[in-house]
Structure 1
């Protein structure tokens, strides 16, 4: 992809205000020649950057979201209350839902108000299975969030994990088809490597004049920020391997 097209895609995403489910159809219509998975990956990364600025996990914000939700329920608003709150504050639905759930369970003394690991685990459990939430209105609201949030819902997290495993399998098959000897992550961990590439070649190969010792597979679009982050947190640890 040329840089001009990429910049146009990013500009379109940044100018969109609302749910990613509405943004993706707009991108596919505007950039029909770009694979939908590529557009989805770019959108995901841009929204993650946006959430770093927009999503604040403070008691004040938690109370504000919860009060807005309770006021809307008492007023008899139609379902989709949390979705509308998320659009109003430009925060993805599941992130808003988590804070509302946290405050809800604080009020009924089901979990502590502090953010210990057990509380977070419980919130994740309720997000994965909304039928466990005893308040039927809240359960349905959270369920809607998991359907409409294409970035942070439990379903999306499962898809990401599955997709990553699928790409690793494809990589292993391709290495075998090429007749290249390699070690995978499981083998490398047995020998004490804390951070491991998907594939470490037993015998290095040359590609376009570069010596290749290892291969890392990522099921996402690699813009400059992504490469910079992985270089700092992962790739540099593979040096001289």
Structure 2
């Protein structure tokens, strides 16, 4: 879907002003914008929420000590489970991010490890986040488990799901091309033959869409905002155009209507694979 600018900024404003878990914010968005697909709302939420976390997530030793002290006091007072979740709401930070800091401090005190930011220590923390049963302290183990269940942005499970969704849409694109009898090479094939920056699809025989010759296709299982699009243009699309010529970018979950379509036809933008295509060999 091509989203109106006004509606897009209405959604963004709600996200930026929301205090609490991103999971609950998504419920609010679904209630208010019932005409917008859930995947689209989640994608916009994810982009805005992660941008907010980058600006406000602080890992200073003073802040870590503060979180750990608050957690220990709550445990000492025998508060109900969900301590870190409540801290997350109060501090407007993702549960898994606060959970990782508390976990890091716990092992630092338990093992006397002053270098808790080392690569090895961080690898261990990530392991405990993925498998909370390995955490020796049963209270902390359950608290971290709750974080991974309620955090729909930074949970290890969410990362797996996002990767899976991206692959799902890439496979959908490949199946569509095969059904249409179009010859192409995928990213895996291109990397095998030494290409560094590669699109998801490189057409063996170019096709024509709306008067534009398409040499490559990039699949994005997300919503295309202006900011994201500029970033991808700088880091990916321009390189593809420079190497392969014009192409097609698909934002499967839609894009904001103000997204600039380049006048020189370096690539076109759609929210699905167009049905009205032409094999350029038939035009020769």
Moved runs in structure 1, 4+ residues, more than 3 A?
none
C-alpha distance after superposition, 1:132-181 (max 9, x if no partner):
00000000000000011000001111101111111111010011112211
Partner SS for 1:41:
helix
Q: Which protein has greater RCO, CA pairs closer than 8 Å, 6+ apart?
A: 2
Deviates more, 1:123-132 or 1:67-76: 67-76
CA distance in 2, matches of 1:37, 1:111: 42
Change (3 A) 1:110 1:151: farther
Aligned length: 241
Contact 2:19–2:89 under 8 Å retained in 1: yes
C-alpha distance after superposition, 1:96-152 (max 9, x if no partner):
001111111111117553422211111111001000000000000000000110000
**Who is 1:184 aligned against?**
186
**Who is 2:243 aligned against?**
240
**Who is 1:200 aligned against?**
202
**Who is 1:69 aligned against?**
71
- Which ranges of structure 1 fall in alignment gaps of 5 or more residues? none
Q: TM-score, normalised by structure 2?
A: 0.82
Contact 1:103–1:113 under 8 Å retained in 2: no
Aligned partner (choices 81, 90, 93) of residue 79 of structure 1 = 81
Q: Which has the higher strand share?
A: 2
**RMSD after superposition:** 1.3
Contact 1:168–1:217 under 8 Å retained in 2: yes
Q: TM-score, normalised by structure 1?
A: 0.96
Tell which structure's C-alpha radius of gyration is larger.
Answer: 2
C-alpha distance after superposition, 1:199-228 (max 9, x if no partner):
001122221222211111111111111111
**Who is 2:265 aligned against?**
none
